Structure 1
Amino acid sequence: MTSNTSSSVSEFVLQCEIKPEQRSFAVSILTLIYFVTLFGNLLVTLIIRMNRHLQTPMYIYIGTLAVVDLLNSTNIIPKMVAVLLDSVTISYGPCLLQMYLMIYLGIVESLLFVCMACDRYTAVLHPLRYSSLITNKIVWLSLTLSNVISVVGLTPVMVFITELVFCKSNVLPYCFCDYITIIHVSCTQNPKYFTVLAASASLFGYFPLAIILFSYLRIAQAALNISSVDGRSKVLSTCLTHLLVMSLFYLPLIIPYILTGSGVNLLSREAYNIMVVISTVVPPMMNPIIYSFRNREIKSTIYKTVNGVLAFFTSSSR
Structure 2
Amino acid sequence: MSEGNRTSVTEFILTGFPGLHPEYYGLVSAVLFVVYLITVIANVVILFLFATNHSLHKPMYYIILNLTVCDLLFSTTTLPKIISRYWFQSGNISFLACFVQMYLVHYFGSVNSFILFLMAFDRYLAICHPLRYSNILKNSTILILTITAWVVAIAPSLMMAIRAYPLPYCASNIINHCYCDHIGITILACTDRTPYAFPAFVCAMVVLLFPLAFIVFSYCSILIAVSKIADLQNCFKSLSTCTTQLIIISLYYLPRCFVYLASNVGIRFSADVRIVIIMFYSLGPPMINPFIYCLRTKEMRECLERPMSRRTLASDLNAVFLSLSRNCTSLVILGFLFG
User: Do Structure 1 and Structure 2 share a fold, with TM-score over 0.5?
Assistant: yes
Change (3 A) 1:232 1:311: farther
Contact residue 198 and residue 258 of structure 1 kept, 8 A? no
Instruction: Please list, as runs of the form range in 1=range in 2, the aligned pairs for 1:17-28 lying within 5 A after superposition.
Output: 17=18, 18-28=20-30
Instruction: Please list, as runs of the form range in 1=range in 2, the aligned pairs for 1:98-247 lying within 5 A after superposition.
Output: 98-247=101-250
Of 160-169 and 247-256, more deviation after overlay is shown by: 247-256
Deviation at 1:264, TM superposition (A): 6.6
SS state at 1:266 partner: coil
Q: Which stretches of structure 1, 4 residues or more, deviate above 6 A after TM superposition?
A: 262-265, 309-313
> Pairwise CA RMSD of aligned residues?
2.2
Matching residue's letter, 2:291: I
User: Do structure 1's residue 43 and structure 2's residue 45 form an aligned pair?
Assistant: yes
User: Do structure 1's residue 56 and structure 2's residue 55 form an aligned pair?
Assistant: no
Deviation at 1:272, TM superposition (A): 2.2
Deviation at 1:6, TM superposition (A): 5.1
Change (3 A) 1:310 1:293: farther
Matching residue's letter, 1:267: F
Which consecutive residues of structure 2, in runs of 5 or more, have no partner in the other structure? 314-339
Give the one of 270, 275, 278 matched to 1:276.
Answer: 278
Matching residue's letter, 2:43: N
Change (3 A) 1:249 1:309: farther
Change (3 A) 1:310 1:80: farther
Q: CA separation in 1, counterparts of 2:58 and 2:152? A: 24
Q: Deviations over 1:251-276 (max 9, x none)?
A: 2234446776x797733322321121
User: Do structure 1's residue 10 and structure 2's residue 17 form an aligned pair?
Assistant: no
Which consecutive residues of structure 1, in runs of 5 or more, have no partner in the other structure? 314-318
Give the one of 289, 292, 303 matched to 2:291.
Answer: 289
Of 152-161 and 134-143, more deviation after overlay is shown by: 152-161
SS state at 2:6 partner: coil
Contact residue 13 and residue 89 of structure 1 kept, 8 A? yes
- Per the alignment, residue 308 of structure 1 pairs with 308
Q: CA separation in 1, counterparts of 2:71 and 2:194? A: 32
Q: CA separation in 1, counterparts of 2:267 and 2:183? A: 12
Contact residue 201 and residue 257 of structure 1 kept, 8 A? no
Change (3 A) 1:51 1:231: farther
- Per the alignment, residue 79 of structure 2 pairs with 77
TM-score, normalized by length of structure 1? 0.89
Percent identity of paired positions between Structure 1 and Structure 2: 32
